[in-house]
């Protein structure tokens, strides 16, 4: 009797072991099997989410099929406590094991924001506020000219204020790099003066090849005590710091009383009119070698330069004729 009972228990235990082994083998196979996604899947895993919540979110996004197997596999491998929050792009066909590795390693999606050169501080703040994936509010507009335009990478959930601070630090670092390499004899008391003129150069020409020449013209005018007569400074004034107008400048605009109106005020404006990029800052610190004093648009996107007023007036007449022929 006892032998029969022992045999029965042995068979039951053996059956259970076989069943457990079969379940384990099935689960492990499912954990390692290719996933259901036919294309890459992007999913955001929030901070503080539990393992089960992460598994459910991945399943809802279509990255995995069996949340329970995902959670089981993460626990079996000792990785359940090491999953990181963030935005992930799960490759098509990725197994649950591969997804766990992806999230444990924190290989989040890298987003980017390109800040064009020459935007005003108001425009940059508006751009950052409208950028999807960033978090937090921007309560104030930074000082004009303090932010460096370039491409910035960020992760989902990064703070907007932190991104603005990165732009500020990048400008500080760039000035520390370029200022010591400046030419001698420049009409700048400090780095800020250079940024002021660079912001005007930035708004005067979109052509990198022209910037050192435009900078030279403006510096020549400053050195001779001539007003800069730069249209972008007037636009900055009458647009309330937005840097652009939906209409052409008028004679009345050129008469506006403002220290930023370089048709009326000599010398540099009291501050930048935009946020200049590296090329414009480098241009004002190492301007072209020329004695030109004037430039005007040439109709091709660039400018015609002149040394004398008479030559400049001919260029202006040519520009006006081109406008007239274009019906402007």
Structure tokens at 41: 């899947």
As a whole number, mean pLDDT of residues 249-276 equals 93
**CA torsion, points 273, 279, 281, 285, in degrees to nearest 10?**
-140
User: Given a cut of 70, is residue 277 above it in pLDDT?
Assistant: yes
Give residue-wise pLDDT tens across range 290-326: 999 999 988 888 999 999 999 999 999 998 888 777 6
SS (H, E, C) 233-255: HHHHHHCCCCCCCCCCCCHHHHC
Give residue-wise pLDDT tens across range 54-85: 999 999 999 999 999 999 999 999 999 999 99
Q: Is 153 helix (H, G, I), strand (E, B) or coil?
A: strand
Q: What is the fold, at CATH topology level, of the domain defined by 31-109? A: Dna Ligase; domain 1 (3.30.1490)
Contact 136, 128 (CB under 8 A): no
User: Given a cut of 60, is residue 98 above it in pLDDT?
Assistant: yes
User: What pLDDT is recorded for position 247?
Assistant: 85
Contact 235, 249 (CB under 8 A): yes
Domain assignments of the chain as residue spans, ordered by start = 31-109, 111-173, 185-325
Residues 6+ away with beta carbon under 8 Å from 151: 112, 113, 114, 115
Give residue-wise pLDDT tens across range 229-240: 999 999 999 988
């Amino acid at each position: 009797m006892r032998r029969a009972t022992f045999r029965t228990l042995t068979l039951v235990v053996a059956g259970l072991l076989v069943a457990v082994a079969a379940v384990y083998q099935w689960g492990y196979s499912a954990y390692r099997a290719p996933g259901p996604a036919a294309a890459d899947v992007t999913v955001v895993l929030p901070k503080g989410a539990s393992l089960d919540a992460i598994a459910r979110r991945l399943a809802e996004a279509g990255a995995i099929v069996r949340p329970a197997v995902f959670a089981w596999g993460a626990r079996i491998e000792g990785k359940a406590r090491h999953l990181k929050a963030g935005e992930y792009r799960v490759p098509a066909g990725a197994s649950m094991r591969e997804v766990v590795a992806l999230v444990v390693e924190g290989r989040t999606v890298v987003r980017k924001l390109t800040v064009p050169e020459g935007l005003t501080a108001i425009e940059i703040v508006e751009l950052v506020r409208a950028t999807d994936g960033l978090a937090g509010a921007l309560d104030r507009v930074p000082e004009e000219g303090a932010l460096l335009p370039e491409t910035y990478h960020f992760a989902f959930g990064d703070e907007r204020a932190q991104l603005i601070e990165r732009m500020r630090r990048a400008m500080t670092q760039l000035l520390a790099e370029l200022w010591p390499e400046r030419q001698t004899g420049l009409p700048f008391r400090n780095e800020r003066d250079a940024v002021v003129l660079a912001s005007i150069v930035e708004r005067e020409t979109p052509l990198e090849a022209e910037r050192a020449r435009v900078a030279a013209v403006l510096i020549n005018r400053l050195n001779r005590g001539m007003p800069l007569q730069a249209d972008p400074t007037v636009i900055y004034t009458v647009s309330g710091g937005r840097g652009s107008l939906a209409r052409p400048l008028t004679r009345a605009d050129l008469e506006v009383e403002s220290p930023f109106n370089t048709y009326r005020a000599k010398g540099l404006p009291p501050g930048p009119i935009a946020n200049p990029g590296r090329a414009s800052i480098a241009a004002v610190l190492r301007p072209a070698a020329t004695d030109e004093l004037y430039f005007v648009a040439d109709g091709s996107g660039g400018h015609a330069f002149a040394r004398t007023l008479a030559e400049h007036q001919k260029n202006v007449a040519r520009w006006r004729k081109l406008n007239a022929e274009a019906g402007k």
